[in-house]
Structure 1
Amino acid sequence: MQPNHLIPISEFCVHHHVEIAFVNSLEQQGLVETICVEQLVYVQPDQLPRLEKLVRLHQDLAIHPDDLDVVSDLLERLEGLQDELTQLQNRLVFYERE
């Protein structure tokens, strides 16, 4: 992938007022993926929403970086359950019409 399609971690950190070590810790925990090109670390555009969500959780709710994996997992489960609930409600509406 061309570096011009990637977002430098340093710019992301300046824009979101976080330390590069914070993003590195998220990468080490497996919460986001980074790419190293010519000794510079980048994040792919498709990883950006997840990274921004983790930054907001850390800053707004004061969640420690080591605990973000647990919170992220719980939020993903919640979103999955909400999707399942919506699907079941749609099926119920279909059968109630008959």
Structure 2
Amino acid sequence: MEQKDFIPIVQLCEHYSVEISFFNELHDMGLINITTVEKTSYLHQEKISDVEKMIRIHQELNINTEGIDAVFNLLQKIDSLQNELNKLHNRLRLYENDY
């Protein structure tokens, strides 16, 4: 495990002004993976943008972790559908260019 790829949860709590329990609840719901090394909990840096979205949903919209789970799953589904739509649009262009 590369230490530089992980950020301590305590540091994230201070930076984003959230409680450690918030991260624990996200982890319990399967929204994030927390890695613990020598009694210190870490989050992989690749997940920071997702966590920032979850924190904004929680703080700005006052939505609990169950709601965050639902909203985040819907946002992921929208992204997936948008990608599929783009692929289909590109395939359609190929057929249009042939004629």
Tell me the TM-score normalised to structure 2 length.
0.90
- The sequence identity of aligned pairs, in percent, is 39
SS at the partner of 1:56? helix
SS at match of 1:36: strand
User: Match of 2:68, as an amino acid?
Assistant: L
Aligned to 2:26: 26
Aligned residue for 2:10, secondary structure, equals helix
Amino acid corresponding to residue 45 of structure 2 in structure 1 = P
CA contact (8 A) 1:9 1:41 kept: yes
Distance 2:61 2:84 in 1: 27
Which digits, 9 at most, give the CA deviation of each residue in 1:19-75, with x for residues without a partner?
111111000111000011111111111222221221122122222112111111111
What is the CA-CA distance between 1:4 and the residue it aligns to?
A: 4.1
> Cα RMSD over matched residues?
1.3
Q: Which residue of 1 aligns with 2:3?
A: 3
How far residue 5 of structure 1 moved from its aligned partner, in angstroms, is: 3.3
Map of 2:54 onto structure 1: 54
The TM-score, its normalising length taken from structure 1, stands at: 0.91
Contact persistence 1:3–1:37 (CA under 8 A): no
Report the counterpart of residue 38 of structure 2 in structure 1.
38
| Structure 1 residue aligned with 2:75 | 75
Other-structure match for 1:17: 17
Going from structure 1 to structure 2, the CA distance change for 1:2 and 1:88 (only over 3 Å counts) comes to closer
* Count of aligned positions: 98
Segments ≥4 residues shifted beyond 2 Å: 2-5
